Structure 1
Amino acid sequence: MSGTVVDVTDADFEAKVVRVAGPVLAVFRAEWSAVCRALDPVLVEAAKEYEGRLTIARLDIDRSPETPPKYDITAIPTLHVFKGGNIVATRIGPSTKNDVVRLVTPHL
């Protein structure tokens, strides 16, 4: 699954995000949000650039409503960088590729 953006759900969020050894960029989003949809190509580009060093996972808050409250998601898109099961960085709102790079680089 390296080099691609992985879609996760309530059922597999822990296994594919929290319990992963390396850094994971978890993106909490919704399909109806134009800002979230605009972020998708940025995520795909970043997944290719950081292949083997970073996992990028997307969670649709409407299809998986149990996970967002566990991580205090109150706005979308919210980007959390998980490392060792902990949130080590966060960005909320529209993001460019440069924003994503600045968010994840210190944790690679």
Structure 2
Amino acid sequence: MADTVLDVTDTDFEAKVVKAQGPVLAVFRAEWSGVCRTLDPVLGEVAHEFADRVTVARADVDQSSQTASEYGITATPTLHVFKDGQIFATWIGPASKGKVVELVTPHL
């Protein structure tokens, strides 16, 4: 697993998120969203601190509209914790680092 946030697209979402070994925090975001841009540093911190236990990936809903539609994304940011190809936890909206850690920790 990496200590950086992976950018994923419609092309590689399944391989890098759904079929990944171990848990993945997938964040559906939009570049134009101030809330999403505010979350980016938090995602970087979580990716670094949990590098050996979780992958953090983000998908831009405008550039990856097929994947966003497939997962019913209607608001940004939407955070899903994937493990073994299934979604185990979801958070929609602004999130502090504490909230992101709380979302991910049970699935490590």
Aligned residues: 108
Structure 1 consecutive aligned stretches of length 4 or more whose deviation exceeds 3 Å: none
Q: 2:51, 2:64 → 1: CA distance?
A: 26
Q: Which residue of 1 aligns with 2:105?
A: 105
Q: CA deviation at 1:72?
A: 1.1
Partner of 1:93: 93
**Structure 1 residue 52 displacement after superposition:** 1.3
Matching residue of 2:78: 78
2:69 equivalent in structure 1: 69
Q: Deviations over 1:15-71 (max 9, x none)?
A: 000001200000000000000000000000000000110000000011111001111
Partner amino acid, structure 2, of 1:8: V
TM-score between both structures, scaled by the size of structure 1:
0.98
Distance 2:18 2:74 in 1: 19
**Amino acid in the other structure paired with 2:74:** T
Counterpart residue identity of residue 30, structure 1: A
Percent sequence identity over matched residues?
67
Q: Using the alignment, how far apart are the partners of 2:17 and 2:90 within structure 1?
A: 15
Q: Which runs of 5+ in 2 are unaligned?
A: none
- Equivalent runs, 1:1-108 vs 2, <5 Å: 2-108=2-108
Q: Report SS of the residue matched to 2:14.
A: helix
- TM-aligned CA deviation for residue 92 of structure 1: 0.2
Letter of the aligned partner of 2:87 in structure 1? I
- Distance in 2 (CA, whole Å) between partners of 1:85 and 1:53 is 16
Compute the RMSD of aligned alpha carbons.
Answer: 0.7
